[in-house]
Amino acid sequence: MAAKPIHLATSESIDDYLKAILELGGAEDSRVTTNAVAARLGVRTPSVTGMLQRLASQRPAMVLYEKHRGVRLTAAGKRRAWELVRHHRLLELFLHDVLKYSWDEVHEEAERLEHFISERFEDRVAAILGDPEIDPHGHVIPQKYAAGVYRDEAPLTRWPLHTPATISSVSDRSAIALRELERLGFMPGIGLTVEHRNSSLALMVRLADHADAIRLSQDLAACVFVVAAVL
């Protein structure tokens, strides 16, 4: 039986640190630099160092931190971080499907709410939604009390030319990017082929069933993740 999440007197700020470290460490659970955490959270580096030292000294410790070597989550830190990811993605889907928020609005609302919902509320949201597996942006929703699953997907910016792909997910961090991707038709589940990269690294991409290729900037293409198309 999977371990239940550890309930600590934790602040919203601590939660943000744990989730940032989880996301930056990725599937490899790599050590994350203090500068990377500072950039992700928009916090000064000395403040990040102080918080990481605090998280490392808690009992149970939430992170393993070594000066000049970076930080990674402990088992307790991972459980809390994945719990937050589950809350966030369930809330995004609830806001989108039930409350009819647009897909560019749900991220900020879920960021505010994810820290505070109870297990009972989480269970009811999951039940109403039918125990969903995917959020509105194509991200996998972790199972309760379980670590998340990392898809074997690639950024569109790195996808080889003339190789059919399917959009698996899109980044939810920029509402402006989401609105533009929706306008252009870059949604999870849509097939595409990268036809050309020019000197500025912009991409010419042809979506399935579209006659003309679409020019996609490097920044916008970096928000799109794909998997090989099933032919």
DSSP calls for the chain: -PPPPP-----HHHHHHHHHHHHHHTTTT--B-HHHHHHHHT--HHHHHHHHHHHHHSSS-SEEEETTTEEEE-HHHHHHHHHHHHHHHHHHHHHHHTS---TTTHHHHHHHHTTT--HHHHHHHHHHTTS-SB-TTSPBPPPTTS-------EEGGGPPTT--EEEEEE--S-HHHHHHHHHHT--TT-EEEEEEE-TT--EEEEETT-SS-EEE-HHHHTTEEEEE---
194-224: pLDDT as tens digits:
999 886 779 999 999 888 999 999 999 999 9
42-81: pLDDT as tens digits:
999 999 999 999 999 998 999 999 988 999 999 999 999 9
Domains of the chain: 1-150 (1.10.10.10), 154-228 (2.30.30.90)
Task: State the pTM of this model.
Answer: 0.89
pLDDT at position 211 is 87
